[in-house]
Amino acid sequence: MFALRVAASACLRVRGVQAVSAPCLLATRHRLCSASSSSSAPFAIDRLDHLVLTVRSLDRTIAFYTRVLGMHEVTFKGGRKALGFGKHKFNLHEAGNEFEPKARLPTPGSIDLCLITHAPIASVVQHLQECNVPVEEGPVMRTGATGPIVSVYFRDPDHNLIEVSNYDHGDPDSSASSA
């Protein structure tokens, strides 16, 4: 058997056999998947299944998202909590008690979400007012993932920016005046 010597930052040849260090493997993978590469991933992302919100208080977050946004509370494995809506969910991690694996810097209030509704934005604004949730901005026209949207912005209890939008291209000024 050949004795292979691996340098910390380079690929070496020892007696005709290539010895590969971990940094060399990473560099090779990076070259294969670099921005200049014309190849694409061998798979396609279809949809978002869930995301994780790191929150200060599970109870306050669940109360807000169920009351204001009509989501439903989900309890799963080990008593973990989530908020469900449609075919999606937000898993909830309480700051300081996160589940592994977790984001590198799990921080309450660091996310900006855009949620889509079929309801007129005027009715969303009216509901926010009834729930004593201040509108930060809107209704305004924005560009969504598949085209123009009408949006209204507000904050959740952790100060995450929440945008509720629809693709029903109504005039944002008429939405605001009818609320």
Integer distance in angstroms from the first to the last C-alpha of the chain?
79
Residues 6+ apart with CB under 8 A from 23: 8, 9
Residues assigned a catalytic role: 163
DSSP per-residue letters across 29-80:
HHHHTSTT-----SS------EEEEEES-HHHHHHHHHHHH--EEEEEGGGE
Please check whether residue 17 is in contact with residue 119, taking contact to mean a CB–CB distance below 8 angstroms: no
